[in-house]
Amino acid sequence: MPTESRAVDIVLLGVTGFTGGLIADYLAAHAPASLTVALAGRDPARLDDVVTRTNGRFEAVTVDATDPVGLRDLTARSRVLITTVGPYLLHGDPVVAACADTGTDYLDLTGESEFADLTYLKHHRRALSTGARLIHACGFDSVPHDLGAQFTVEQLPEGVPLEVRGYVTMRGTFSGGTAASALEIMSRRGQGRTTQSIRRQIEPEPEGRTVTVATGRIGRHPSTGSWVVPAPTIDPLIVAESARQLERYGPDFTYSHFIATGGPLATAASLGGVGALFVAAQIPPARRTLGRLRPPGSGPTPEQRAQAWFNVRFTGEGGGRTVTTEVAGGDPGYTETSKMISEAALSLAVDDLPPTAGQVTTASALGPALRTRLQSAGITFTVLD
């Protein structure tokens, strides 16, 4: 990691968006006074509004996420960068490139697995040489699942094959930015599979160990009675990447990821809705119409967020032991997501962390340090039995 001092400890890019504004509010309330924080975006007037709302504590920096020169100037004087400018497949690469080139730690909220794979292919090697830590999916995608799986592994014996299954239950709504990213992912499913295949051919497997993502089956959860559906999200891929990077996951690690629903009818309705949305995402006019229903920059009200919650329950098995753990919190998409990525940035800026570089994960780069921060901030990690 770079040893020279830099003028800015944390810079937040995309602060004028819905989620970016929530992150700015969180940092204003929780960042130590000793840290220098900058708010970056392309619209000076809207930036000034956020600076005013946060009591003028942060400086404003005008920069366009598509301007490689401006981004490089910004990252060269910053230690940690948070970006909420998505969809990341469309807008994210210049930001990652600038961080990798200047040795600046990078955090985003992407749920786009293709973008994470492209980052590895294009920028991992450069980040290794500069010391930059490139960390994707630092919100509800995929912090509870990544750190929750790691927490579960820590309760199991070392040096033996392990299997962990995660079951997600949640209530919440979504912002315009999330909708735009979801539609982009669905419209590029074929390209995403191709990119993932290329990465798997290039990325070395951990020596002497195997890591598997198991799809799982639709059915009833044996202990809760809920119906569960395999979740084709970025989360199991992030958990698997952590397992590749950390020997503690054992010589043979398997992970499965599910969404828990109320029953067979709710399961059928959910699958039907996702299928219809996937079909619509393949048709440009339909995709544009769906995007207008929740335009970027919009999001749930404070009252809606107050009623939202999440729960991720894990079952881990290995070495003759079975353990059940749980990660739980409030509004997953926005209140808790802004908390998660903010605390990840603060951890990178302040905490004594293991030496890592290149494309890493919240578990491999931050691990227990971030978990401790999130527990202090109200997100629970519990061993149930």
Distance CA 258, CA 216 (A): 8
Domain boundaries defined on the chain: 8-139+335-377, 143-329
Q: Is 245 helix (H, G, I), strand (E, B) or coil?
A: helix
The whole-number pLDDT of residue 263 equals 54
* Residue 259 · residue 235 · CB < 8 Å: no
The whole-number pLDDT of residue 171 equals 86
* Residue 332 · residue 310 · CB < 8 Å: yes
Provide the residue-wise pLDDT of the chain in tens; the chain has 385 residues: 445 689 999 999 999 888 999 999 999 999 999 999 999 999 999 999 999 998 888 999 999 999 999 999 999 999 999 999 988 999 999 999 999 999 999 999 999 999 999 999 999 999 999 999 999 999 999 999 999 999 999 999 999 999 999 999 888 765 545 555 555 555 666 788 899 999 999 999 899 999 999 987 777 776 666 778 888 889 999 999 999 999 999 999 999 999 887 655 454 444 444 443 333 344 454 445 445 555 556 678 899 999 999 999 999 999 999 999 999 999 998 999 999 999 999 999 999 999 999 999 999 999 999 999 999 999 999 999 9
The whole-number pLDDT of residue 55 equals 87
The whole-number pLDDT of residue 73 equals 97
Instruction: For the beta carbon of residue 357, count every other beta carbon within 10 angstroms.
Output: 19
Side chain identity, residue 127: A
* Superfamily designation of domain 8-139+335-377: NAD(P)-binding Rossmann-like Domain (3.40.50.720)
Side chain identity, residue 40: A
CATH class, range 143-329: alpha beta
Indicate whether this model's pTM tops 0.85.
yes
Alpha-carbon distances, residue 334 vs 125, 192, 208, 283, 300 (angstroms): 32, 26, 40, 29, 9
The whole-number pLDDT of residue 296 equals 57
Distance CA 349, CA 359 (A): 17
Distance CA 190, CA 328 (A): 34
The whole-number pLDDT of residue 69 equals 96
